[in-house]
Chains A and B, each alone.
Chain A
Amino acid sequence: MKSLRAVVVAAFFLLITVAVQAQDVASFEKRTTVRKLSNGLTVILMQRAEAPVFSFYTLVDAGSAQDPKGGSGLAHMFEHMAFKGTPNIGTMDWVKEKALLDKVEKAYLAYDYEKRKILGRDEKKIADLDAAWRKVAAEADKLVKLNEFGQLVEEHGGVGLNATTFNDSTVYYYSMPANELEMWAYLESERMLHPVYREFYKERDVVLEERRLRVDSSPIGRLVEQSLAAAFVAHPYHVSGVGWHSEISSVTATDAHEFFKTYYTPSNITLAVVGDLQVEPTMRTIQQYFGKLPAGSKAAELRTVEPAQNAERKATLREPGGQPWYLEMYHRPGYTDPDDAVYDVIGDLMSNGRTSRLYRTLVRDKKSALFAGGFSGFPGSKYPNLFVFYAVPNRNKTLDDLAGDFKGEIERLKSQDISDDELKMIKTRIRADLLRGLADNEGLATQLATAQARYGDWRELFRQVERVDKVTKEDIRRVANKTFVANNRTVGVIDNTKVEEKKAEAGKEGN
């Protein structure tokens, strides 16, 4: 999520130093091939002969924002299932297992229907149905070869095997020795061709543990979940990607397969491969395996657009035993907005390094914050999203101190032009940071796939710089004045002051 944003941000400034840029783009052009297979799958191949290895990044243009109503966390659930194997991988006897899995699903749906009843619940019946599906599931489990898919990747030299579900997309990635290209093509195409919902109901428990780890038992997780729930009222960014407990624990394999059928069509997938590979043989292998994915239309985009916010909102988590946190968030448009670049410049100006405004004011001079920053593209960037300022107060400082300090810095942004030196510094820095990110296969695969999926052309990574070059001091003030206004604001805090102290304060005010 982070790297993705950094790429897009960084790309804007790439062309500023002309000499280096010309060389880069030429070198990229020469080494990069894009093909669209007849089934609609987009493939980008970049040659990089540093070592006999390659990395890939498969981007499915659907993330937790595509979770259906009542099925929060489903995109993520499917992502977990993509590690469970296929009819040929991970089973001792697929025919028997398939029959049992079908029985599990039928039995589970019967249980699920009964369990969800509000009126006329029959607890005995629920318990029986519960026991029934569990019994069949246990039978099915006996036929599983645990984690054979992951094992195959690892024994063929794969490293970094993992996947991530973002709000906007779901991505799969790892790296392999170059001579394992065909094995990779087989494994990756099979999991997209023939997913199986093996151990689905047990994997929900694993995902619930993931929720406990990231959200329930983490103060920042709790704060972010509540703050987003306050900031978005209509758009799916309202719900944390992992989903609500009640929904994670009751989605079905049928739901997961529906999700797969809708969104895992080749026309919705971008595949980037970077490494020590020959173009034509590699493309042939990819065609041979990924060409088997049945064509399907790209799913329709979301209907919902977050309505304009017209009242300030606040999420206050009172956690007297905890530690204070401060977030201040403002709605901004999605990444296709003409002002996208301006937000990125503002983010850099405010928070990149010890020369940034928030560091110098909040950390160095006022000593109110241990750290402070601001960035946009949260919790995703495809749809209208948030510009987030964040900080934690130093020991002797309060959340109110931070609120005041942010107000001062935002006012300054709205009322005064930034200096020429600042603007120049930001551009130089971001350009260099982009270049630094081009030094490994994994990073390149990520960036190429992301740019291709977002803009329909990986070269946008470089071309956008022209837009950024046009960002002026006036743009920064205009966008700041448009965005950073009270009615567009959601404040999220963890307030750890004791309730008694609060009462005492209230008492004082009353007098």
Chain B
Amino acid sequence: MKTLRTTLSALLLVSAFSLVTWAQGAKSSAKPEAVAKPAAKPAAAQTASNPAIQAIEKRKPRLPEFKPQQPVRIQLENGMVIFLQEDHELPFIAGTVTIRGGAIHVPADKAGMNGLYGQVWRTGGTKDKTGDQLDDFLEARAAHVEAGGGTDSSTVSFDCLKNDFDDVFKVFVDVLKNPDFRQDKLDLAKQQASTSISRRNEDPGAIIGREIRKIGYGADNPYVRQAEYWTINAITRDDLVAFHKQTVHPNNMLLGLVGDFDAKAMEARLRQEFGGWAKGPGVPKPRVAFKDPKPNVYFIEKEDVNQSQIQLVTLGLRKDDPDYYAINVMNEAFGGGFAARLFSNVRSAKGLAYSVGGGIGTEFDRPGLFRLVVGTKSETTGKAIDALYEEIDKLHTQPITGRELDLAKANILNSFVFNFDSKSKVLDEKETYEYYGYPLDRLEKFRAGIEKVTLDDVQRVVNKYVERKKFALLVVGHAADFDKPLSRYGTVTPIDITIPTEPPGKASAADEDPVRESNAEGKTLIAKVVTASGGAELLGAIKAMQVEADTVANTPQGEITLPTLAISVYPDKSRVVMQAPFGEIVTVSTAQSAFRSMGGQTQDMPAALREESQKGNKRDLIWVTQHANDPKFLFRTGGTVKVGDADTTILDINADGVGLRWFVDGQGHVVKTAYRSVGMQGPTMRETEFSDFRATDGLTLPFKRVVRDNGQISATVTVKSVKINPEVPAGAFEKQ
């Protein structure tokens, strides 16, 4: 994070007109993250059809032996790790301290905090100096001290002429240890963050870059959580101070310096500065579950474009995967460079695109994303999608050839020296391995790893990872101009990127604006629902109901199917038995008590959950329809809204003091309910969609339910049978 340079935004203007031969951002980089000692023998060049080239090949000298200078590694008693890399070419010294703790450690309702934290850490000044005073002091010396908040870490860095080191290093340490996070700068940062949110749908490339990550990792994944107006509003100075206090301890830090200094003297200096700093608590990584995205077709309409942005996505791999080298070679042949299949076939041969690329992405501590990317005019959207699928299929039907393999390996190995052609690159690599707990000699292994890759290896990883039906497809574009409807590729799920001004709960929960009075339309609509469900008489005769179903629950470990038996005895008793792999889970709720038994242990629910559970009984579909004419139940219609393909009318309900919202379709079926509740994970906006309406015992009831909490599917329930007024076993609602 450099100083806020106006050139950054000037670049926006200039880039509009910067015509480069190809947009390299689109290509998957086969560049290893590692640097290593080059082998003396270069990989044989592969194209030798041309005599001039053959002759040059023959007399080509060997690349001289080159051992890049390694940084010195020091670990202080308090756990702080320091790397020092001397570089005397220019009279500068620069350094960065990386501190564990970032966006993934920020609660969902404060998403965006790490960005504000990084900004205000510096602009908010220190105990002794305001940020503005620091700006004046540093700029007069052409020096920088900056802070930044990242995904899993935050950083403080400096950069100065070596003669100013003493002055600037003092500021660096002061910013690191004693930030004040002044409120005025937090206010400014929050205003800027809000403006940035309001502008996030400006550029199609930015939209697809963001949304494809949400599809690939899941929108609630802490690695991709998105700031919203209300999450920014919720952030306070105390939050920033607390985050600093929680994370800034020497044992969570990695400091790297590069520049015109003497390493010995610098080590002494740093030991003196940081040696006495006491250890603090660590910052453990949250456990995050990753699973492949649903292979759906997603679409985002953007009216002011004549070019579609298209991406296919599924999960990639971690860098410590044994297949890492094989996929690097596959990537290079498939989407790596000028001669790779995607560039040659989709761009050069078909003329469909300017930017095209793809490959299996890798990350250090989590799977990367495997993406295929293309931009094409609206009128060839379908053609370009077909071309991507065709290239995926061709990896199976026309496997990578020996020649392609040799070229890919030559590309990677012969350019290998560029991974360590500067001292700061070597430093960066070492620091990255240190930070993620990878062996520091990973560098030395990269070359051998690539050399060993065979055709069989490449075909094996193709078979293992490259599968057409695993990919989700996302298109951002103007659908009216498309050559083929996207429905050719599957059921299209539109993504609404309208920027919400309020949390999802607020917009649809009647709790915020309780219904105090029924309106005439509301009374008419509930009567329609009663009729559609089977009529008041049949509904009124229901005293109890037993439902047998399969519940597919989304858990951090993945999807689990739980056979479920639920009995409700109106008005206020319910018992749910689920067969989990590790045994039965029984949940009981009555007016008197609420408890859960599993694995022979019975636990009373916390008060808040018990209360919610009781409210849940009151929100029961049958219960509400039974009270269509009860003066304690109030019904008020809202606007109309689409749920799936159905046009629905909103019906806000006050069910004897409990709020909820229904979405009623033209036939009088309740196709969706929504309400705010408290779940195991805290406040939840729960939305349930109902479908598969079937006649049973004269009633019409939904046999399928999809439950979403805060927008994420938490369970899918498929009903197998419904029994009205079943026999209820004795003691069903008592602790066993």
A→B interface (CB under 8 Å): 1-2, 6, 20, 50-53, 64, 76, 79-80, 83, 88-89, 141, 146-159, 161-167, 175, 177-180, 182-183, 186, 199, 202-210, 212-221, 224-225, 240-242, 319, 321-323, 327, 351-356, 358-359, 363-364, 367, 370-375, 378-379, 388, 390, 392-395, 421, 424-425, 428-429, 431-433, 435-436, 438-440
Contact = CB atoms under 8 A, between A and B. Distances in A.
Given A159-B415, A221-B16, A371 B9 contact: yes
B377 A209 contact: yes
Interface stretch (B58-66, B452-460, B603-611, B655-663): B58-66
Given A209-B354, A373-B6, A436 B18 contact: no
Interface in B334-366: 337-339, 343-345, 347-349, 351-355
A22 to B, nearest CB: 13
Contact of B354 (A213, A224, A431): A213
A109 B673 CA distance: 66
B410 interface: yes
B463 interface: no
B346 to A, nearest CB: 10
Given A178-B64, A353-B4, A152 B415 contact: no
A213 to B, nearest CB: 6
Contacts of A79: 19, 21
3 pairs of A and B residues whose beta carbons are closest in the complex: A150-B338, A373-B6, A157-B414
B91 interface: yes
B612 interface: no
Interface in B11-36: 11-24
Interface in B181-202: 188, 191-192, 194-196, 198-199, 202
Interface centre among A154, A162, A164, A359 (most CB of B within 10 A): A154
A319 to B, nearest CB: 7
Interface stretch (B39-47, B106-114, B441-449): B39-47
Given A165-B19, A421-B140, 16 more contacts: A51-B420, A148-B47, A154-B337, A157-B414, A177-B417, A182-B60, A209-B354, A209-B375, A209-B376, A213-B205, A214-B16, A217-B306, A353-B5, A355-B136, A392-B199, A393-B195
Contacts of B377: 208-209, 212
Interface centre among A51, A186, A358 (most CB of B within 10 A): A51
Nearest to A148: B47
Contact of B421 (A50, A321, A433): A50
A53 B418 contact: yes
A164 B140 contact: no
Contact of B45 (A155, A242, A390): A155
A373 B5 CA distance: 9
B419 to A, nearest CB: 10
Contact of B418 (A159, A167, A359): A159
A354 B348 contact: no
Interface size class of B (residues with CB under 8 A): 35 or more
B592 interface: no
A507 to B, nearest CB: 27
Interface centre among B92, B338, B353 (most CB of A within 10 A): B338
Contacts, number: 298
A319 B196 CA distance: 18
A266 B47 CA distance: 29
Contact of A378 (B14, B62, B199, B205): B14
Contact of A177 (B19, B59, B63, B131): B63
Nearest to B137: A355
Contacts of A178: 63-64
A212 B304 CA distance: 11
A6 to B, nearest CB: 7
Given A355-B139, A429-B142, A1 B307 contact: no
A162 B22 contact: yes
A80 B306 contact: no
A275 B375 CA distance: 36
Contacts of B195: 370, 392-395
Nearest to B63: A179
Contact of B344 (A147, A164, A392, A421): A147
A432 B161 CA distance: 8
Interface centre among B62, B195, B305 (most CB of A within 10 A): B195
Contacts of A429: 139, 142
Contact of A319 (B11, B304, B407): B304
15 contacts: A2-B11, A50-B421, A50-B423, A51-B417, A83-B338, A88-B50, A88-B52, A149-B338, A151-B338, A182-B56, A214-B16, A216-B305, A221-B16, A321-B304, A352-B6
A435 B91 contact: yes
Contacts of A359: 4, 6
A375 B17 contact: no
B59 A182 contact: yes
Contacts of B50: 88-89
Contacts of A209: 307, 352-355, 375-377
Contact of A439 (B21, B89, B354, B376): B89
Nearest to A426: B139
Contacts of A167: 17
B339 A146 contact: yes
A183 B11 contact: no
B203 interface: yes
A375 B60 contact: no
A370 B195 CA distance: 7
B7 interface: yes
A432 B142 contact: yes
A204 B348 CA distance: 11
Contacts of A424: 140
Given A1-B17, A205-B351, A207-B354, A175 B418 contact: yes
B455 to A, nearest CB: 17
A52 B191 contact: no
Interface in B132-167: 132, 135-136, 139-142, 161
B20 A154 contact: no
A155 B414 contact: yes
B306 A162 contact: no
A321 B201 CA distance: 10
Interface centre among B21, B46, B202 (most CB of A within 10 A): B21
A214 B3 contact: no
Nearest to B52: A186
Given A53-B418, A216-B307, A2 B10 contact: yes
B730 interface: no
B60 A220 contact: no
A373 B191 contact: no
Interface centre among A1, A6, A372 (most CB of B within 10 A): A1
B66 A154 contact: no
A213 B22 CA distance: 12
B689 to A, nearest CB: 29
A182 B13 CA distance: 38
B306 A216 contact: yes
Contacts of B141: 428
A154 B411 contact: yes
B624 to A, nearest CB: 40
Contacts of B42: 157, 177, 179
A68 B385 CA distance: 37
Given A146-B349, A210-B354, A179 B202 contact: no
B305 to A, nearest CB: 4
Contact of A370 (B66, B90, B196, B415): B196
A157 B57 CA distance: 13
Contacts of B199: 323, 370, 392
B135 A354 contact: yes
A379 B14 CA distance: 8
B79 interface: no
A505 to B, nearest CB: 21
A443 to B, nearest CB: 11
Interface string B364-388: 0000000000011100000000000
A431 to B, nearest CB: 7
Nearest to A424: B140
Contacts of A425: 139-140
